[in-house]
Amino acid sequence: MTVQMNMQISPTIFQSTVREWYDALYRFAFSLSRNPDDAADLTQNAFYKFADKGGSINDPTKIKSWLFSVVYREYVDQFRRRGRYPESPLELVPEPAANHRPEAMADRLDSREVLHQLAKVSEKYRVPLTLFYLKSFSYKEIAATLEIPIGTVMSRLRRGKDQLRELLENGGGEEEQPAVTLEFPKKKEARNG
């Protein structure tokens, strides 16, 4: 039987959106969940919601923030249901793609090591940091996606980078960062899609 997707938007728009954002969205979901299966579920869920409710997005430039926001909120909702942080075995951090060729500074910083240490950065800083690096979210887009003030975005980026840099310089050990309190977006706004 064919899966019935509640497609309220043009399939053409849906397809172009999937092509443009699927990879980045998956990588963001992976950086949150640190688990390939959860990342795939979070990503798929975001596109199902987009198919159903994406028609309400009047400004196409907002699609990017909307999708990432859905993934983030779904992740937070799951976290709320589980009442704990997800298991985060660092072995799950994947090997970089074989054909991926780092350049400049990346020659010195091993990609796997960066991912390994990024996974240890406190959740609060890791989320805006990942958005900043993935598809180059601007500080305004990060603020809109996470619904936090611009000043908070800037300070979290700064602290997140400092934490990551320190972990990369010192090796960071194998211990996980202690859990920090994750801010839950308001439920009302969480349903605005």
Partner 1 sequence: MDNKTAQDILTGYRANGEDARDPFFADALEQCTRDPELATWLERERAFDRSVNTALESIEVPADGKARLLEMAARMEKRQGEGAASSSDENDALIERRKPAFWRGHRWIRASLGLAAACILGLVLWQTLPMLQQPNFEPEKFSMGEFISRAMPLSYRNDDPVNVKAWLASRNAPTPEAFPGNLAEASALGCRIFELPQGGKISLICLLKNGEVVHYFVFDDAASELLAATPLKTWWTEDGWHLYSFNEGNQRIAVATQGNPHHIL
| Contact set with partner 1 (CB under 8 A) | 1-7, 11-12, 14-15, 18-19, 22-23, 26-27, 30-31, 36, 40-41, 43-44, 47-48, 51-52, 81, 94-97, 100, 102-106, 108-109, 111-112, 114-115, 118, 129-130, 132-134, 136, 138-139, 153-155, 157-158, 161, 164-165
Nearer to partner 1, 19 or 181 (CB): 19
* Neighbour count for residue 5 (Cβ, 10 Å): 12
Nearer to partner 1, 14 or 79 (CB): 14
Dihedral of alpha carbons 183, 74, 24, 138, sign: negative
CA distances from 4 to 12, 42, 95 (A): 17, 18, 35
CB of 106 to partner 1, least distance (A): 4
Task: Measure the CA–CA gap between 94 and 92, rounded to whole angstroms.
Answer: 6
Phi, psi dihedral angles at 182 (to 5 degrees): -90, 135
CB of 188 to partner 1, least distance (A): 17
Nearer to partner 1, 76 or 153 (CB): 153
CB of 171 to partner 1, least distance (A): 16
Provide the b/e sequence for 151-189 (b: ≥16 CB within 10 Å).
eebeebbebbeebbeebbeeebeeeebeeeeeeebeeee
Cα–Cα nearest to 27, from 161, 121, 142, 132: 132
Nearer to partner 1, 43 or 177 (CB): 43
Nearer to partner 1, 3 or 181 (CB): 3
CB of 126 to partner 1, least distance (A): 11
> Helix count (H) and strand count (E) of the chain?
8, 0
Q: Which tokens sit at 73? A: 């909120």
CB of 50 to partner 1, least distance (A): 10
Nearer to partner 1, 100 or 188 (CB): 100
CB of 89 to partner 1, least distance (A): 16
